[in-house]
Amino acid sequence: MTDHPLSARDRILGNVRAALKATENDNARTFMVQKRLKLHKRNLIPSRAELPMESKVRLFQTTLEGQSASVAKIAAADALPGAVAQYLASQNLEKTIRTGDDPIFEGLDWDGAMITRSIGATAGDDPVALSMANYGVCETGTLFLTSGPRNPTSLSFLPMTHIIAVNERDIVGSYEEAWDGIRLASDMERRGASGLPRTVNLISGASRTGDIEQTIILGAHGPKNLHVIIIGKA
């Protein structure tokens, strides 16, 4: 009987253990890892993130606008189709969008706004996508989008124009607050029964690079245009 050859994963982990002078059954290290994962120790939270709600929303908007994004506000979700149509018209874009199957998009009057909506991941041939963010972080003007059928990751990278809706109540001060929310059972239920997502995409403005002759180019690695719609409390 011959031994099975070590997989690449086993070799890599073996080399790491050897460098750390650790064994595979190191109970002390296992306990330390489990404790760290359970406690979710927070990083330093800057004072700019510790604001009343109205100020958080204002900072979130101004920071996004400073990162080449546009921002609009609506009173309630039923105004979303109209807000999307208004933005598309302002950019001279066709009223055709692709979204995930987030329940917030269901039951809205897309036909009344003369918008054609398709659902699911994109193969790269959709010019405009609409996503629903889990959280907005005012600290850096960053949107947290968890992957899954309700929010396919391809919608965040392949279309040239990305529209992201976020509830005003989900605008928080710091990254730590957003991560805490994603771990909560209520947020997992919002994403479905799969538990934690495979990916959390953090989006702060339109895609850009300055690699070529230090000239800022938009749309280099993802959408060229980012439009954020804040859904109010009503």
Q: Is 70 part of a structural domain of the chain? A: yes
Percent of the chain with pLDDT over 70: 85
Q: Cα separation of 120 and 151, whole Å?
A: 8
Please tell me the predicted confidence (pLDDT) of residue 196.
75
Q: What is the pLDDT of residues 5-53, one digit of tens each?
A: 678 888 898 888 889 888 777 788 888 878 877 777 777 788 888 899 9
Q: Contact at 8 Å (CB) between 206 and 219?
A: yes
Q: What is the pLDDT of residues 143-167, one digit of tens each?
A: 999 998 999 999 999 999 999 999 9
Assess whether 148 and 223 both reside in one domain: yes
Say if residue 1's pLDDT is above 50.
no
Q: What is the pLDDT of residues 92-121, one digit of tens each?
A: 999 999 999 999 999 899 999 999 999 999
Instruction: Report how many domains make up the chain.
Output: 2
Q: What phi and psi values does residue 48 have, to the nearest 5 degrees?
A: -65, -15
Assess whether 159 and 223 both reside in one domain: yes
Please tell me the predicted confidence (pLDDT) of residue 175.
93
Quick one: which H or E segment has residue 190? helix 185-191
Q: Which amino acid is at 59?
A: L
Place of tokens 């706004």: 113
Q: Is 3 part of a structural domain of the chain? A: no
Tokens coding 177: 């607050």
Q: Is 5 helix (H, G, I), strand (E, B) or coil?
A: coil
Assess whether 97 and 138 both reside in one domain: yes
Assess whether 58 and 174 both reside in one domain: yes
Q: Which residue has the higher pLDDT, 71 or 68?
A: 71
Q: What is the pLDDT of residues 193-224, one digit of tens each?
A: 456 788 999 999 765 555 555 554 554 566 88
Say if residue 138's pLDDT is above 70.
yes
CATH of the domain at 76: 3.40.50.10420
Entry pTM: 0.80
**Over residues 171-175, mean pLDDT:** 95
Averaged pLDDT score across all residues of the chain: 86
Please tell me the predicted confidence (pLDDT) of residue 220.
57
Say if residue 190's pLDDT is above 80.
no
Assess whether 19 and 95 both reside in one domain: no
Range of the domain at 22: 9-39
102: nearest Cα among 142, 138, 131? 131
